[in-house]
A and B are shown apart, each in its own frame.
Chain A
Amino acid sequence: MLVTASCEKFIEIDLPDFETKFVIQGTLEPGLPIHIMVSKSKDPLASVNWVTYVDDVFGIEQFEIVKDAQVEIIVDGQKSYPLYFEEHFSLGGYTDLGRYTIDDLEIEEGKTYELIVSGSNLPTASSKVVIPYPVDINSVLVERGRPVEFEYFPMVDFTLNFTDPYENNFYEIKAVVEPYQYEINVWGDTVALHKWPQEAYPELKNPLYGENRGFAGGPQSLITDRLFNGREISLEYYCYPPSYAEEGFNVRVYLRNISEDWYKYETTAHLQRSNQADPLAQPVQVHSNIIGGLGILKAGTVTLYEVNVQWEMNSAQ
């Protein structure tokens, strides 16, 4: 009985030594500001309660934002450009995150950019990307889709047509619907006509081309060109209509030619998020192109096609 009294169910054990690393979330795109967010990684056992109320505004307090790193970009292995920290930068639900950026450097397709982040007593992290060339959109055809209960408009079906270059390409497709709505003052007078862009969450009609990730996966569709490499392709999508539009709406389709690292990061990150509720799910290695650190440096080039749609609104149901 003495022996059985010593039975223990489990014991706590130590993980291997943890070493903090830079976490880089950066994007380089022609025509857009350079955008590099730098934070610190944490121990995997850390209790991260990552949403708190700060003066009625969601804020991040658990992951430390690095504000004093030395961040530079080297273009085509030749000239180095130091980046500065922009304190008051917000991104969607993030506020006051800050980012590293630079004013006088334009990102150009075909060029190689190397990012180096050092300092803060952390191992230096770096990444090198080549900016993809833009892929022109030949056409976007918009049609009425299936009716949606309690909505003024049916689903928006659109067909995106473009010619894929030879070589392995990866794409992010987004759609924005931009209804025109009148602004009414307190006396009921129309004072202005505004456009209200809304993410439309496009989904492929043929999932052979790529996975539909639903609302949780974000408003982008990610595909590769393995089924149509070097050919003209028409991809059929459907997306959500605007909730209300008084003078029609625009449908803007973004075709972003992205780096393979970008594609792999997004697909693996989405897969890991999808399975975090299952303790017996297989672990997912999230792809990273950061040497000596974590995260991703994305490279892409976007083309845009806009179609104006004049549909009559359905009766309210």
Chain B
Amino acid sequence: MKEFGGEGTIGLLASKLTLEGPIVKDRTSFILSGRRSYLNLLQMPFINNPLGEGDNTGYYFYDVNAKVNHIINDNNRLYLSFYGGNDSGYSNSSHTYSYENLTTSVDEETSMGWGNVISALRWNHVFNKKLFANFSGTYTKYHFNLLNSIERITKEEGELKDEYYYHADYRSGIRDYALKADFDYIPSISHYLRFGASHIFHRFTPGVYATLLKDEVIDRPSLSISDSQEFAVYVEDDIDLSKKLKVNLGLHYSGFMVGEKNYESLQPRASARYLLDKNSSIKASFANMAQFVHLLTNAGMGLPTDLWVPATENIGPQESWQTSLGYYKSIPGGFEFSVEGYYKDMEGLLEYKDGVTYLDIEGNWEDKVEVGRGRSYGMEFFLQKKTGKTTGWIGYTLSRSERQFEQFNDNEWFPFRYDRTHDISLTVSHQFTDRIHFSGTWVYGSGNAITIPTHTFQTPPPNPNGVPGLLYHYAARNNYRMNAYHRLDLGVSFIKPTRWGQRVWNVSVYNAYNRLNPFYVDIRRNYAEHRNMFVQHTLFPALPSVSYGFKF
């Protein structure tokens, strides 16, 4: 609010700049920042592929953040904010293989992108010492798109012998226009009430298109559009029942209107904290929830074709309840420890039916899903140190997330695609001196669960005198675990005050031990060696970087 300032970083992998300052001194201020990576431009000449030449792979992201704050008077403030960001990864490859008289050329294009736009106008109003409120209007837009295209041509001495073309285009988009009012009311020292209401207009545009014909790509069908409205009203109260016991009781009522259908949900929530002594406490909670948006994940190998879809006139919302119990303790030396167990039960979950394909088939996603149930449970351990030259935290979660659908997998429970049995995060920061800081992060996560065949076997032909058949056997849905994801990031910062502010040299390495983490897996044909391979696709190897940062 008082003076202009900024900071920035120029690095090998990405750069960012942040500027902030007053527009009207002590009344209106702004902050503006932007980032952009350019790894894709730098690495282009150096990408190689174990099967040959002709690859172009890259990834980049950018985002912009802007905010303006304005103080109207002591009781009224306005905030205007905007965020826009986009990530994009792409891979194009072109290879030619020869075997005896046959020449096969394979051209493949894969791209994946996602992004968000969030804009909000918020008015903060203080009614009196006990009551204040925030009124906001927001616009958000999310998009995700995935493109996979393969063309394979085999010729024998220049004459076309075989041709195969496949094109798939997955798009997932959500636009929300929302109005919200949130009130905070403190009637007494032992009560803190929050209540409010919201209304959101949703526009979903999930769209999938697939074809085996090259000509059809030119004339793609339009995406399906689904409009709906969601409203919610809530009230909750933090109550100090005694010096040791504090409870939060709440009630959330939400509704979802789509087409001729109205869904309503009343969701009670409660949590309690009991102080065992000044350094330790026990917490428990229970909550009922409803969610009107579904995530559709694919069960097989291949690219992650996740699709966000809304509840519709035919597909209801997800409903769940969750309970948790935890123990928290402050330990001398600046440590905090907690352990918490939870269980969550879910109904109304969606999974693709067996065999669903978007290839040359009429009908939308609603015809391709089954409804089932799920459960998640686990334990979370957390240890944190906040004070001293060395700070950081370590967290470990042991959990299971499973699904059960009557129509497939013999109605047996199977792991959710994103079930992560072990999840570990370790972060350490150490101040060697005032000018030399070290940071390190290590993360570990169990691999995604996907469905892969375990056998192939012969079958009689479906038609008499027909060609014999070959089928794949899948022992169960999501029967295979991709390799675990783990990564170590290290960084050292050299800080020096200057006349105009501060400069920082940072030397870091992302993925320090060059772990080839899985992005997705599939079966590929090694045409040079005439065999099939089970391959894991990765995105980023070790990425060292040097950056120069400044602050004024």
Chain A interface residues toward B at CB < 8 A:
1, 3-16, 18, 21, 23, 25, 37, 39, 41-48, 50-51, 58, 60, 62-63, 91-94, 199, 215-219, 268-275, 277-286, 288, 294-295
Contacts and interface: CB of A to CB of B under 8 A. Distances in A.
A6 B48 CA distance: 8
A141 B359 CA distance: 38
Contacts, number: 222
Contact of A8 (B50, B168, B212, B352): B50
Nearest to A269: B471
Nearest to A22: B457
A14 B534 CA distance: 7
A251 B300 CA distance: 44
A284 B354 contact: yes
Given A272-B355, A280-B168, A283-B300, A3 B471 contact: no
B351 to A, nearest CB: 9
Interface residues of B, number: 81
B300 A60 contact: no
Given A10-B537, A274-B355, A283 B148 contact: no
Contact of B409 (A1, A92, A285): A285
A128 to B, nearest CB: 17
Contacts of B524: 10
A93 B466 contact: yes
A245 B463 CA distance: 23
B148 A280 contact: yes
Interface of B: 39, 42-43, 46-50, 55, 57, 91, 93, 148, 150, 166, 168, 210, 212, 298-300, 302-303, 305, 352-359, 408-409, 451-474, 476-477, 480, 483, 514, 516, 521-524, 530-538, 541-544
A87 to B, nearest CB: 18
B533 A280 contact: no
Contact of A199 (B91, B409, B464, B522): B464
Nearest to A288: B473
Contacts of B514: 6
B464 A92 contact: yes
A162 B121 CA distance: 70
Contact of B457 (A1, A275, A295): A295
Contacts of B462: 216-218, 269-270, 273
A15 B456 CA distance: 14
Contacts of B93: 9
Mostly helix, strand, loop or mixed at chain A's interface?
loop
Nearest to B475: A285
B464 A219 contact: yes
B359 A278 contact: yes
8 contacts: A3-B544, A45-B534, A93-B464, A268-B354, A280-B303, A281-B359, A285-B408, A285-B409
A25 B483 CA distance: 36
A44 B524 CA distance: 12
B106 to A, nearest CB: 13
B357 A275 contact: yes
Q: Which 9 A-B pairs have the closest CB atoms?
A: A218-B462, A4-B43, A281-B357, A44-B453, A271-B355, A63-B458, A41-B455, A23-B457, A284-B355
Given A5-B48, A199-B464, A295-B459, 13 more contacts: A4-B43, A10-B536, A39-B458, A41-B457, A41-B473, A42-B455, A51-B468, A60-B468, A63-B458, A269-B471, A278-B358, A280-B298, A283-B452
A34 B269 CA distance: 63
Contacts of A93: 461, 464-468
A14 to B, nearest CB: 7
A94 B356 CA distance: 31
A15 to B, nearest CB: 5
B530 to A, nearest CB: 7
B542 A6 contact: yes
Contact of A23 (B458, B463, B531, B534): B458
Contacts of B43: 4, 7
B108 to A, nearest CB: 11
Nearest to A274: B355
Contact of B456 (A3, A25, A46): A46
Nearest to B466: A93
Contacts of B300: 280-283
Contact of A50 (B49, B458, B532): B458
A68 to B, nearest CB: 18
A20 to B, nearest CB: 8
Given A92-B464, A219-B463, A272 B457 contact: no
B534 A13 contact: yes
A94 B536 contact: no
